[in-house]
A and B are shown apart, each in its own frame.
Chain A
């Protein structure tokens, strides 16, 4: 397989470019999108690369259509992705819910910018955390990943495809304008260095009869893709194990929705990923994610130099959320600070997780600039 970019070596590239290259290495062969700042470079890179690797890149009429097209492509057997920013992500919520309901593996990149509405197109924000988790309607669950560096944007894109395929669910890669446009050195691995997960297909006709049934006891039904003779019917309506609409049957609805939610909840240990810095003896914890985590790590170093026992928890996944882990952390420290580029979204989750065991304080900043390390330090020492 020939790649339209160098593999097995480092390159100095933007976050958006890293995401596009990672998607292609992860096996993505269908991209549908609609241009929006600051996510457009992902599309532009995909438009450049996809025809060369016999994939498809298509500019749809809007974000609703882009999300719909990648779901269709996934049912036709392709690994599929779209990318957008907050306003476009809002438009995708309808069909994101459809992907959750029909257990369709797809990857959606949301490069956050300042909102609400068209807000600040060219500046970074972390205002879509709640939208990513709860934006679509009804009881549901999905996976949300959050990179802090361009290298992480690359690595997490591959992971997003793997998790989507493994758990038959949409995965949101929640990044921001800062990472999207920042150039950093990224190692682009050789294809053989990457672990690729493929979706579970039905082993036989019998298995294919239950495209929404927990036939293996792991909550993840094999996915009978179209054109294989299985005659699968997929609907966004509440459906039974065979995919038949059962819209007024309370039991069927409960069984379906609980399985969809629980297949991720019970695999938290596999999905949830985080890193800690100096947490061993910490009395103060800083919990953050995405671009702000970089300032927070520096802040921890400065605080340590000043004799304050600070530690840092960097969340690489935002959902599923490990509330228990936060509670354990809260039991060990006096205060938790949550710096984030919004008026408090991650803060809600951390406070719920802390469960009153430690004081949780928000360090909020909006308007487009990332917190400087000193801004975090000053709030902690004040």
Chain B
């Protein structure tokens, strides 16, 4: 795989007047963004036909930095807004850039229902176990024992496994990587962007400032090493016991299937309606 220089990708797709970004040193959002833009570039997609949608939080500021149509909405509601955009104009390709809080907490209901409907959308999900923008509160993805400002003694609740949830709810494509799995990450986004229905690529992403600092990992390299330690490829995980998998996060491709997407289903529904009313044969 030939990789264009990062400068070339930046100059082609970012709004220069919006730079610098708001992201902290060591943040992984820029990497996930770069992979997404590289995937778009590699596939030769037309930026005029892509809309970026987001909710609230650090990752949700991404649509402001990329030179595309973009809707930066309310916390957790990105996929509900996206449902309207996609159904009103099915020609648009939609990328939702969202965080773990956005998807799994305040937006949890929108998330599972967008997947249930198989809304034609690609979700790039930044999972850093924390609410970075609001100052490091604990997220519903945080593993037990991890600290946040609202769980100063370590998280005592069970975490959501977002990828698992998405598979169960019916997504067509689900993959999870950490941001240093860059080739797998780019390839997954490319796959996701080409598929009908709901596709999700989740990235474990370092947040040294809000999250790492409170969990004895003050720098991005420390967090990356931690991700290396706690992640297990799906092929290996298959042969591991639940005890061995305790506290680990499985990475890889979880599902790749071709159920009909919402747009195709609705087109069929319209035809059925007209047939049932005797408007069409």
Contact = CB atoms under 8 A, between A and B. Distances in A.
Interface of A: 2, 4, 29-30, 32, 51-52, 54, 56, 58, 60-62, 64-66, 68-78, 80, 94-95, 98, 226-237, 244-245
B155 interface: no
A240 to B, nearest CB: 11
A65 B89 contact: no
B196 to A, nearest CB: 18
A245 B64 contact: yes
A113 B104 CA distance: 33
B84 A68 contact: yes
Interface string B1-24: 000000000000001011000000
Contacts of A95: 73-74, 77
Contacts of B89: 76-78, 226-227
A378 to B, nearest CB: 48
Contacts of B72: 233-237, 245
B270 A72 contact: no
B226 interface: no
A73 B85 contact: yes
Interface of B (DSSP majority class): helix
A161 to B, nearest CB: 15
Contact of B113 (A56, A65, A228): A65
A61 B113 contact: yes
B61 to A, nearest CB: 8
B92 A72 contact: no
A214 B227 CA distance: 49
Contacts of A78: 84, 88-89
Contact of B74 (A58, A68, A70, A244): A68
13 contacts: A52-B277, A58-B87, A68-B80, A69-B81, A71-B84, A72-B85, A77-B89, A95-B73, A226-B71, A226-B89, A227-B49, A231-B69, A245-B64
B80 A227 contact: no
Contacts of B74: 68, 94-95, 98, 236
A291 to B, nearest CB: 32
Counting from the closest, the 9 A-B pairs by CB-CB distance are A72-B84, A68-B80, A69-B84, A51-B273, A73-B84, A65-B80, A73-B88, A76-B88, A235-B72
Interface in B37-95: 47-49, 51, 53, 61, 63-64, 67-74, 77, 80-89, 91-92
Interface of B: 15, 17-18, 47-49, 51, 53, 61, 63-64, 67-74, 77, 80-89, 91-92, 109-110, 113, 266, 269-270, 272-274, 277, 279
Nearest to B18: A244
A14 B200 CA distance: 44
Residue of A56, A72, A232, A235 most packed against chain B (CB within 10 A): A72
Contacts of A98: 73-74
B279 A2 contact: yes
Given A72-B82, A227-B92, 12 more contacts: A30-B88, A60-B83, A68-B77, A68-B80, A69-B87, A70-B84, A72-B88, A95-B77, A226-B51, A227-B49, A231-B67, A233-B69
Nearest to B113: A61
B87 to A, nearest CB: 5
A30 B92 contact: no
B279 A64 contact: no
A226 B69 contact: yes
Nearest to B272: A51
Given A61-B109, A226-B92, A52 B81 contact: no
B69 A72 contact: no
Given A237-B72, A244-B64, A58 B83 contact: yes
Nearest to B277: A52
A32 B85 contact: no
A62 B112 CA distance: 12
Residue of A2, A30, A56, A94 most packed against chain B (CB within 10 A): A56
Nearest to A226: B69
A233 B15 CA distance: 11
Contacts of B110: 61, 64-65, 68
Residue of A54, A232, A234 most packed against chain B (CB within 10 A): A234
Nearest to A228: B48
Given A54-B270, A76-B88, A65 B77 contact: yes
B88 A56 contact: yes
A104 B97 CA distance: 22
